[in-house]
Amino acid sequence: MSYNLLKGKRGIIFGALDENSIAWKTAERVHAEGGKFVLTNAPIAMRMGQIDALAKKTGSEIVPADATSEEDLENLVAKATEILGGKLDFVLHSIGMSVNVRKGRHYTDEKYDFTAKGWDVSALSFHKVMQTLYKADAMNEWGSIVALTYMAAQRTFPDYNDMADNKAYLESVARSFGYFYGKEKKVRVNTISQSPTPTTAGQGVKGFDGFISYAEKMSPLGNASAQDCADYTVSLFSDLTKKVTMQNLFHDGGFSNTGVSQEVIEYFSK
């Protein structure tokens, strides 16, 4: 069902890799709601993924960019506004990567150049994206910028490793930049703290399947899917949420406010 919530709106969507990714589902949903956008991903991710199919499906152009490179981001923003014919109304930052996780390094045995790389890709890139948009004055008033995060920023999930620190940093950037962007340009900045979701990125975390079923048992409404997240993101891109900014919004079926559920008690009472 479409409500035309984003009719006439323009934006950039970072991080669509394949049809499991939240950015991919969001792009489809934005398209259905009448929004136009440029797709972008790092060149290496583009070789691995199927972004061309998504571009075709949504009538979008692709501009490759490494989100850690200021030069690439300046080029991306300039090209996007040119392709779309004006300033932007929405941006989705859906990027995260930990070299320590990939290389199987434990949190107590980090290789710090890996840590720095992951931090740059997962968190500092969000500041770089917003600073680039800000300096280019590329966002319309009442525009909306959203980044995807996870509750490991607030609570400990042992296998989430240094990604937890990256997400805490990401959420802080949203609040700090959100203040200035709101004050000076009326642009809102929020993060969505999503349920564990079986995306290509998510499945890189050890013990992931067990964790998904635990979260499902803990959440009164069950886990939020990638599609659910796409729907929620669209509501934040729309004019219906104009005064929501600098928030970390839990989109997790109630998991974040549940101490223990009946299902979990029953499981451990066996």
Binding positions for NAD(+): 15, 21-22, 95, 167
Rounded to whole angstroms, how far apart are CA atoms 167 and 149?
6
Buried/exposed code over 72-98 (b: 16+ C-beta within 10 A; e: otherwise): bbeebbebbbeebeebbbbbbbbbbbb
The active-site residue, picked from 107, 134, 150, 214, is 150
Task: State how far the alpha carbon of 68 is from the alpha carbons of 42, 51, 159, in Å.
Answer: 9, 20, 25
Residue with tokens 């152009």: 61
Strand partners, 144: 90, 188
Closest by Cα among 251, 215, 216 to 235: 251
Binding-site residues, please? Answer: 15, 21-22, 95, 167
Rounded CA-CA distance 158/126 in Å is: 24
**Strand order across the 88-93 sheet:** 61-62, 36-40, 10-14, 88-93, 139-149, 188-194, 248-251
C-alpha 65/C-alpha 74 separation (Å) is 9
Nearest Cα to 185, choosing from 82, 78, 89, 73?
A: 89
Q: Is 134 a catalytic residue?
A: no
Instruction: Give the active site residue among 134, 160, 169, 181.
Output: 160
CB 39 within 8 A of CB 64: no
How many residues are listed for the chain in this entry?
270
Catalytic (active site) residue 3: no
**129, containing H or E segment:** helix 125-135
Runs of H (alpha helix) within 186-242: 208-218, 226-237
- Catalytic residues, which ones? 150, 160
